[in-house]
């Protein structure tokens, strides 16, 4: 699986958009970009995934660059409950086991 690079921490004001970047410059053509998050002392939660097109669901939007070497997870209106560690994972080609890096610790403040 391609390696991902995320900033270790970010903060965001409540009600504002949170934009979490992820670099995956070695991604291959059949690999998807997945985002999960883990709120303190809970199991990870699936957020969204995409291959090359931008995706949106009720939780977030995923913007993937045209060359697919990076992506951004957007939480349009962050709330205090969005404080969590966000993991960007790239996988595909039959390798379907999420392998977690250090992720980005997002703190949403009032």
Q: Work out which of 5, 65, 99, 109 binds other proteins, going by CB under 8 A.
A: 99
Q: Work out which of 24, 34, 86, 88 binds other proteins, going by CB under 8 A.
A: 34
For residue 69, give Cα distances in angstroms to 3, 16, 29, 48, 60: 11, 26, 11, 17, 20
CA distance 105 to 89: 15
Query: Does residue 7 touch other proteins according to CB under 8 A?
Result: no
**Number of residues located near other proteins, criterion CB under 8 A:** 21
CA distance 102 to 68: 21
Interaction site with other proteins (CB under 8 A): 32, 34, 36, 38, 41-46, 49, 87, 94, 96-103
């Amino acid at each position: 699986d391609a390696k991902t690079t995320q900033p270790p921490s970010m903060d965001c004001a409540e009600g504002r958009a949170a934009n979490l970047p992820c670099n995956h410059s070695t991604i291959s053509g059949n690999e998807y970009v997945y985002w999960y998050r883990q709120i303190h002392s809970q199991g990870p939660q699936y957020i969204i995934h995409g291959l090359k097109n931008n995706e949106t669901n009720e939780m977030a939007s995923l913007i993937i660059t045209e060359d697919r070497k990076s992506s951004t997870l957007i939480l349009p209106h962050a709330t205090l409950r969005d404080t969590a560690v966000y993991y960007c994972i790239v996988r595909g080609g039959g390798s379907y086991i999420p392998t977690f890096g250090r992720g980005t610790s997002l703190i949403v403040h009032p």
